[in-house]
Structure 1
Amino acid sequence: MKISLNWIKDYVDLEGIDIKELWYRFTMSAAEVEEVEFVGQDIKNVVVAKVLSVVPHPESKKLKITQVDSGDGIIQIVCGAPNVAEGILVPLVKISGSVNKIPKIGKAKLVGVESFGMLCSASELGISDDHSGLLVLDGDYAPGTDIKSIIDIDDVIIEIDNKSLTNRPDLWGHYGIAREIAAIYGRELKPMNLDSLEGSEEKSKLDITVEDTEKCLRYSGLKIDGVKKLETPLNMKVRLFYCGMRSISPLVDLTNYLMLEMGQPMHAFDSRQVESGIVVRSTKETTSFKTLDGIERKLPEDVLLICTKERPVAIAGIMGGENSEVLEDTTSILLESATFEGASTRKSSTKIGLRTEASARYEKMLDPNMTVQALQRFVKLLRDMQPDIEFASALTDVYCNKLEPIDIEITKSYIDKYIGNTLTAERMVEILRSLEFKVDVEGDTFRVKVPTFRATKDVTMKVDIIEEITRVYGYDNIQPQTLDVALKPLQYNEERLFDHKVKELLSERFGASEVNSYIWYDNNFNSRAGIETKAQVKVLNPQAHDSNTLRDSMVPGMLAFAEKNEKTYDDFSFFEIGSIFNAANSKEKCEQHKNICVLAASKLKSEDELFYDLKGLLSFIAKTVKNIDLDYTVCTKEHNWVHPVKSVDVSCNGKLMGYLSVVHPMIKKNIGKKLNIAVLEINRDVLHNIEQKAIKYKEPSKYPEVLLDYSFLVDNSVTFDKLMQDIGAFKSDVLNGFEFVTIYNGKGLPEGKKSMTFRFVIGSAEKTLSSEDINAFANSLLDYMAEKGYTLR
């Protein structure tokens, strides 16, 4: 956004302020200044000249020979402008003068005729892009008058980064920038000249109806008659051009000028086009509409329009329609000054693919309390151009959603806590009031009323008040101080530490990959895989219709991950610690807790191998984190993915915590026919709340231990617990412990048998075992196992 310093000077005295230092401080306090450009510096020795005579050039059809009064004599100028005529006042660059892109004007001979200077267009003065002819000056100026005394050519143009203004809709106009500068330098902000609209109250009100009160916050209108042929003041054109807008017509120029000055977009309708009244409504279907730029646009559903009773005339907050523009013969206008909801304006602009200066401001969420003030300012500027305009209606104001100032209570001690005891209470109040905040002081307490132009999306809480004070005072003026903070020991979250320990074991010890899933079921996948759930907790506003039920088990989500990886990997395992939700029915209170879920899948291992892998994994985790042994009993088979035989409930001291199962064959075939899958799911909260069993330590032997692995043939009917009990009953002075290693039930085994491998740890605290000792233990163990019906494989 471009800002004119001359414009700023209308509202704040900048005498004695270094311009470069000004914009540095503005950057540090308000918004980022990207560029500072000094314009008009190359316009030198240019004066007003009166054309006394014009004769054709004898050797050129385009050139003319003129005699002009330069103020200090009559001089001859050869000119090619089509509008050069006797009696007009125009800018003249005298010998040794300079203009835009021409560093020095000298005496010249054009097609054999001498010329002693140059008559200028607005483009050559750098105040417009119009180079179609000479700039004709309206007014009674004496020849020789310095052109800069009547045209504000010298200026400083500041470009501010738009992104830094996103949260500051009040800074999208010159008056808001002037307010900031006045506050930074402690100078007075001059009031804006407004028209009282006296006489309009006697007229009838306009017929204005707002149907969509969510998107249109306020709509103010005023009808004015007697608008004659106007001419935009030259300096107004210059300011518009310097700020990136070209002059179009007087009434359009006025609305653009108001937008750049106050940040409030406006629109002037030809009254003949809106005689039936104004209706503000949203489209209910795709609508064709031709905008002011002559482009036929397809407006989608839910775009806010300004309409008459019969047809749309403007896209609210974005651009007017071709059928309502002000024409040369327009004598009556209906002025619109409105506020539209920011997010809806942004969405509509994006849908249509049309972003304008107006929409860029509306989407920042403008202050609705500014609409009437903008109308008063417009009328004041219009009266300056034509004093005899007449009101054809009363001010009509439809205020749908009134915005009230925000009240914030804050204490000086609270402010001091953040910035130190740097500022006095009086200085804090002075800064806030300079920004037009109202402040009442009671002892140490400030009761701050935030102006509505800062309350739309910027200042809403106490820390925002602190920011206002510190940024205006200057962040670099605050002395850094060491915080005086009491050091307290960190309170660890035991559940989080427990989860971290379990995840560490699963990933590092067992090589499982952690996954993260949504807390709701994918009903499409469950239906496809044949999974049945009994979940009762529903989402009222789901992201998708097929994701409206909160899960009561994590297994279906893990099976979905297995399906996605089945074609890529032959062997994999996943785990997740996540929330599940249970309720007896849809009307009962919901219970939430966390589960630990692990899935192991393989095309290389059998179901039994996967089952015992998970059993060993779970037993190891329980032993490591709680030093407890788990009990495995016949499964209650609550879910339809649980295998009817190869499944067990997991408990500890009679307290059920979950289950371990091979996936049911009907479910497995829908995920991958060749993929064997086993899952375990236990209640994390139950496991975490089990009291950790004390670990008993014994002094290790200084003599080495020996590891012996034996694989026994076991009847399929023998349970794992029975085998463990039988081995545990074997007694030997050198046996220090044993553990299950693996199971095999593939080829090469007798019918009805399975092979189960155990590792025995033997050693002595008194000596190193000899081969005779080891053989004696082995023979004793094998004889014992044979008596129990277990033969060595």
Structure 2
Amino acid sequence: MQLSLNWLKDFVSIPKDITPEKLGELLTLHTVEVESIKKLGENLDNVVVGKILKLEPHPNADRLKLATVDIGKEKLKVVCGGSNLYEGMLVAFAKVGAKIKWLARPGKSGGQGQEELVELQVAEIRGVKSTGMICAGGEIGLSDLFPSEGDKEVIDLRGNYKVGQNLAEALGLDDVIYEIDNKSITNRPDLWGHYGMARDLAAVLPSPLTPLPFQPLGRLRRRGETKLQVKVDDKKLCPRYMAVAVGNIEIKPSPVWMQKRLIACGMRPINNIVDITNYVMLELGQPTHAFDAQKLGGTIIVRRAKEGEKITTLDKQERKLSEEMLAIADKNEPIAVAGVMGGGNSEIDENTKSIVIESANFEPVSIRQTSQKLGLRSEASMRFEKSLDPNLCELALRRIVSLIKESCSQAEIISNLADIKNFKLNNKPIKLNLEWLNKKIGVEMLKVKVVKILQDLGFAVSGGKVLNVKVPTWRATKDISIPEDLAEEVARIYGYDNIKLTMPLITMQASEVNIEREFINKIKDILSGGAGMTEVYNYSFVNEAQLEKLDIKAGQHIKLANPLTQEHTLLRHSLIPNLLQNVIANQRNFSEIKIYEIGRVFLPQAGEFAKGGGNKEKLPLQPFKLGLIYASDSSALFSLKGILENLSESLNISFDFKSQAQKGADIYSGGKLIGCLDNFDEKLAVKNGVKTKLALAELDLQIMLAAAQGAGIKKYTAKNKFPYVRRDMAFVVSEKIVYNDFRQALLAASSLIKEVELFDVYQGEKLGVGKKSWAFTLEFGSAEKTLTGADADEAQREIAKQMEKKFGAKLRDF
């Protein structure tokens, strides 16, 4: 949201010693988060109001003219090609040194030239010296305020401006705009307009708040009014609906001062009536709408839309409505999407002579849902979804009628005032104990100070040590309801920076250790740190097509009643499907991918959710799982197995791999199945577009945690003080031999073996049919002495002998 400093000054006096930057700090500290501060007209420093005294033809160019321009202290001659120049014309004159927007010539590749901000210099144009420039709106960033109606048309000020006056000052563009973070006022519907913000600022400074200028509706009423009929079918979605018809309307541009404020706040001026409704929305925070009365077909009906009903909104888009959306309609068709945008079939145009002004209050959740489903978020919908004060409806209507009277002197109310309401605000008095308040905020505040702060914010206060505080209606919709809310109000206006830092006056206790979270964090440290794997986070959802490609049946998966997208229709049973998608998305960029995820899976109980039923007592089981994928052109399965072995050792958990020939293994710990390790099926790889070999594993974290707790603290083993000896050995074995059995036998073959690491797997014609080769690096060590080469040689001979005896293994010598 954008705030105009000049607009705020209409309602609250800001001391001169408070700079715009200081005011921004005050707003951020006490009320809202200011994201940026923008000074309007900062590029207009050397642009002034000029008056053309004389026009002469250019001696060397038919389309150019020589203009003598009075800029107050001097008269200058400039060359100008403006098509609308005349003597006596007041113009925007840029002096030498001014910053001008200039369209640079296109480059060699052609296309549109880039707009640049250049400093104006004295120039010679077709042999004539030109000292300055008469500007068009686009050249000084004022095209919204002064749109060109013809080619090469310059700004014609046509007003009572002082020659030589700075243009920004003359046009009222000497303003400062504060960009407010909308999230910081989500719970403050009263701050979505300048008046509400000024009310809060008045309490912060503190400074008196100037009342809004209103004109009683009765003064504009004429005799012989027509009956305006309004019917509200759904009063829950529309707690209040006000409307009145105004005649003798003249459609024309809105006053320049109003256009300037709208533009400064990011809105495009359209015409006086539309601009007035937008102006009041920015001022009060209450959206309103004006219908062309001649285009309405009888009674205005506030109703739910019919399923499939269509309306073309003001942005020229046809939109399909559904029955949960609220529509404003006449007897024939919808004329607006309630709280979001009006319809093109009832919009104001140059032929409009009478209007119906709508000022209503709508149920916030309904407006937000409608806005999201239509993909249409407007300035109006942003405010309605914040729970606006229903009493704002009348204030906004009165303000609009007053401004219309200023714009159209002959305007008059030609109907009754329709006001249908069905709301009750929860603004019962709240008891505020002063002793409790002081303890809560940590400052001893006098009663008079507390009362002053609350009254400045609009609260009615009475009582002694326990105050009775009545909440104003603009804070009663969703904001203030309990004493803690009042404590926040007092503290923020008093100033958090004025509250001294002190230690809490309570007994501090260390929070209980979450064993499950600590266990998960330890696993992450091992996998991300030691194993060099990358952790990923995926959605907890899958879809039927994704599962079908993996030959997984979707029937037992829990279906979502209201999925975010068609890609997220089922709750996952496993982490692997989404991890595979990660591999597919990244395989072009990486030759090796090592990823893992820790997350919950969702398993139905007793088939309740598979049937579409279920209740609170039958919520799905949600165990934590660890999923891992190792994608590589080399031995992915053995590499991933090595990572799991390292994980088990680091966690002091025993992993027993129950292997099957040519496949992976089921993983047991303490006799319980905790997961599996396997290669990804080659046919499924082709089906899913996986272009590299990969291994995958999935483990149950709950069983792992129980095993880790049962294992207790791992015993300390002193680091060997004698150096190790490393040797490589390659064995040729039958392809039926299971790797895990072979490795365990290898570790037991010699007491000197401390570590075994597989570094190569080979199958080829040289080995013969049904044979494979495993190459290992063996690490030998002794706690008693430094091993010699002869010791290692003897150990290797013993190992080769035992492996041949148990598995028929032969040493590979090529």
Q: TM-score, normalised by structure 2?
A: 0.65
Identity of aligned residues (%): 28
The 1-side partners of 2:732 and 2:372 are apart by 76
The 2-side partners of 1:7 and 1:698 are apart by 73
The 2-side partners of 1:134 and 1:766 are apart by 104
- Check if 1:514 corresponds to 2:535: yes
Answer whether contact 1:651 1:658 (CA < 8 A) is retained: yes
Matches within 5 A, 1:9-24: 18-19=15-16, 21=18
The 1-side partners of 2:540 and 2:377 are apart by 40
- Give the match for residue 435 of structure 1: 457
Change (3 A) 1:244 1:720: closer
Q: Quick one: which amino acid aligns to residue 633 of structure 1?
A: K
The 2-side partners of 1:250 and 1:754 are apart by 87
Q: Quick one: which amino acid aligns to residue 702 of structure 2?
A: D
SS in 1 for 2:622: strand
Answer whether contact 1:5 1:156 (CA < 8 A) is retained: no
User: Which residue of 405, 418, 439 maps to 1:396?
Assistant: 418
Shift, 1:260, TM fit: 6.9
- Check if 1:185 corresponds to 2:206: yes
- Check if 1:632 corresponds to 2:657: yes
Matches within 5 A, 1:368-379: 368-376=390-398
- Give the match for residue 497 of structure 1: 518
Q: Quick one: which amino acid aligns to residue 428 of structure 1?
A: V
Shift, 1:561, TM fit: 3.1
CA RMSD of aligned residues (A): 5.6
The 2-side partners of 1:21 and 1:783 are apart by 91
Answer whether contact 2:754 2:781 (CA < 8 A) is retained: no
Change (3 A) 1:746 1:206: same
- Give the match for residue 622 of structure 1: 648
- Check if 1:749 corresponds to 2:767: yes
The 2-side partners of 1:457 and 1:526 are apart by 44
User: CA-to-partner distance for each residue in 1:285-337, whole Å, 9 max, x for gaps?
Assistant: 55457x7xxxx93442349765432466667665686867599996x764433
- Check if 1:539 corresponds to 2:560: yes
Answer whether contact 1:222 1:393 (CA < 8 A) is retained: yes
Please list every run of 5 or more consecutive structure 2 residues that lacks an aligned counterpart in the other structure.
42-69, 76-87, 93-144, 147-154, 161-169, 609-617
Please list every run of 5 or more consecutive structure 1 residues that lacks an aligned counterpart in the other structure.
38-100, 107-118, 136-152, 636-643
- Give the match for residue 308 of structure 1: 330
SS in 2 for 1:537: coil
Shift, 1:660, TM fit: 1.7
User: CA-to-partner distance for each residue in 1:497-525, whole Å, 9 max, x for gaps?
Assistant: 33333333334444433333222224323
Answer whether contact 2:243 2:419 (CA < 8 A) is retained: yes
Answer whether contact 1:745 1:753 (CA < 8 A) is retained: no
Q: Quick one: which amino acid aligns to residue 686 of structure 1?
A: I
- Give the match for residue 657 of structure 1: 674
The 2-side partners of 1:155 and 1:611 are apart by 73
Answer whether contact 1:337 1:374 (CA < 8 A) is retained: yes
Which stretch shifts more, 315-324 or 514-523?
315-324
Answer whether contact 2:626 2:701 (CA < 8 A) is retained: yes
Shift, 1:161, TM fit: 2.4
Change (3 A) 1:781 1:647: closer
The 2-side partners of 1:520 and 1:352 are apart by 24
User: CA-to-partner distance for each residue in 1:48-82, whole Å, 9 max, x for gaps?
Assistant: xxxxxxxxxxxxxxxxxxxxxxxxxxxxxxxxxxx
SS in 2 for 1:161: strand
User: Which residue of 526, 530, 536 maps to 2:551?
Assistant: 530
Answer whether contact 1:407 1:447 (CA < 8 A) is retained: yes
Shift, 1:780, TM fit: 4.4
Answer whether contact 2:638 2:758 (CA < 8 A) is retained: no
Answer whether contact 2:730 2:775 (CA < 8 A) is retained: yes
- Give the match for residue 420 of structure 1: 442
Change (3 A) 1:403 1:790: same
User: Which residue of 458, 464, 481 maps to 2:501?
Assistant: 481
Change (3 A) 1:411 1:709: farther
Answer whether contact 2:328 2:334 (CA < 8 A) is retained: yes
SS in 1 for 2:571: coil
Q: How many residues align?
A: 670
Change (3 A) 1:410 1:301: farther
Matches within 5 A, 1:594-609: 594-605=624-635
Change (3 A) 1:479 1:257: closer
SS in 1 for 2:711: coil
- Check if 1:452 corresponds to 2:473: yes
- Give the match for residue 144 of structure 1: none
SS in 1 for 2:545: helix
User: CA-to-partner distance for each residue in 1:13-36, whole Å, 9 max, x for gaps?
Assistant: x6xx74454977764245768669
Q: Quick one: which amino acid aligns to residue 543 of structure 1?
A: L
SS in 2 for 1:221: strand
Change (3 A) 1:612 1:321: closer
Shift, 1:583, TM fit: 2.5
SS in 2 for 1:436: coil
The 2-side partners of 1:700 and 1:315 are apart by 76
Q: Quick one: which amino acid aligns to residue 459 of structure 2?
A: F
SS in 2 for 1:185: coil
Answer whether contact 1:738 1:758 (CA < 8 A) is retained: no
Matches within 5 A, 1:544-623: 544-587=565-608, 588-605=618-635, 610-623=636-649
Q: Quick one: which amino acid aligns to residue 338 of structure 1?
A: A
User: CA-to-partner distance for each residue in 1:562-594, whole Å, 9 max, x for gaps?
Assistant: 334455555433322222222244315411112
Q: TM-score, normalised by structure 1?
A: 0.66
Answer whether contact 1:182 1:189 (CA < 8 A) is retained: no
The 2-side partners of 1:594 and 1:426 are apart by 56
Answer whether contact 1:219 1:336 (CA < 8 A) is retained: yes
User: CA-to-partner distance for each residue in 1:195-237, whole Å, 9 max, x for gaps?
Assistant: 485999999973213457687553212357xx779999xxx96
User: CA-to-partner distance for each residue in 1:90-109, whole Å, 9 max, x for gaps?
Assistant: xxxxxxxxxxx975899xxx
Q: Quick one: which amino acid aligns to residue 548 of structure 1?
A: T
Matches within 5 A, 1:256-271: 262-264=284-286, 266=288
Shift, 1:651, TM fit: 0.9
User: CA-to-partner distance for each residue in 1:679-699, whole Å, 9 max, x for gaps?
Assistant: 221112211221235544566
Shift, 1:746, TM fit: 0.8
Change (3 A) 1:579 1:777: same
- Radius of gyration: which is bigger? 1
Which stretch shifts more, 499-508 or 483-492?
483-492
